[in-house]
Amino acid sequence: MKDKKLEQEHFNNKSTVYGPVTSWRLGESLGIDPIFVESTCSFNCIYCQLGNIQNITDTVKEYIPAQQVIDDYRSIIDSGKKVDVITYSGSGEPTLAANIDQMIKGIRELTPNIPQYILTNATELHKEEVRKRILGLDKVIVKIDAPNEKIFQAINRPAADITLESVIEGIKAFQKEFQGQIEVQTMFMPMNKKETQQLAEILKEIKPSLVQLNTPKRPYPMSWHRENRGNHLGIADYETRSLKVLSPEEAQEVEATLTKITGLKIQSIYR
């Protein structure tokens, strides 16, 4: 039998819209899943809350109809749930959805005053058509976990032909076009902590409005379950594996180094 607390936290798994879930970064965040059918991403990160990605690809296409997302969103809004932000994420890399711009527009028409964010690995931002599709968002949060290609391949395990250089160049191209905020989320583990100074130099070059300092406190699921989307409680009725995390003291050390080198605002998971 499913854990009742898990069911209450995690919504109807038949919906492309889930939550709201309480996020340490975003408040009451309503998730939008533009992929939905199966876990599909251009990364297969060793810490991913979705577990091992089923479809590792950088193919941009329509995965589900935009109207399905808009209809699911309307149902949540009509229920009267409190929503601070709308966050595109879900079952993989949301910019792989070729119709994400239709979702953004349709949701904006329904609730023009609720900000729309995206969590993206930025692998597709080197493509002009992808950048154009997400210009209507209020905030774009990109992922940078690695300071060099070796660690990038080890942690993020990208689809073929995706490099750290192409990701960074895509972010820079998007910065020239986007009017909203760009933030960076970075996942620190013992394996990349020693590279903090090198990563700080990349952050200094990009100059995001905020750096979100994270560590993998959620367990890694050993099989695919849609309820992994937004599972901040870390509870499950299926097999999971705990990951190595930074201690609060180690996170403070990383934060101090990043602040000293970059001068950027840092938001830590432990604070």
pLDDT in tens, 32-86: 999 998 999 999 999 998 999 999 999 999 999 999 999 999 999 998 888 999 9
Find the distance separating the first CA and the last CA of the chain, reported in whole Å: 35
Q: What is the pLDDT of residue 242?
A: 82
Please tell me whether residue 30 adopts helix, strand or coil conformation: strand
| 199, 168 Cβ separation under 8 angstroms | no
Query: Domain containing 250: what range?
Result: 4-268
Question: If you ran DSSP here, which 8-state letter would residue 154 be given?
Answer: H
For residue 187, give the CATH number of its domain. Answer: 3.20.20.70
Total number of domains in the chain:
1
pLDDT tens readout for residues 166-189: 999 999 999 999 999 999 999 999
The predicted pLDDT at position 10 comes to 45
pLDDT confidence of residue 22: 78
Q: How far apart are CA 12 and CA 146, in angstroms?
A: 35
Could you tell me where the beta strands, DSSP code E, fall in the chain? 17-23, 27-32, 40-41, 55-56, 85-88, 116-120, 139-143, 181-187, 210-214, 220-221, 240-241, 266-268
Q: What is the pLDDT, as a whole number, of residue 220?
A: 76
Which residue, among 84, 148, 87, 152, has the nearest Cα to 120 in the 3D structure? 87
Q: What is the pLDDT of residue 154?
A: 96
pLDDT at 233 (0 to 100): 57
SS3 98: coil
Residues of the chain with pLDDT under 70: 1-12, 24, 223-238
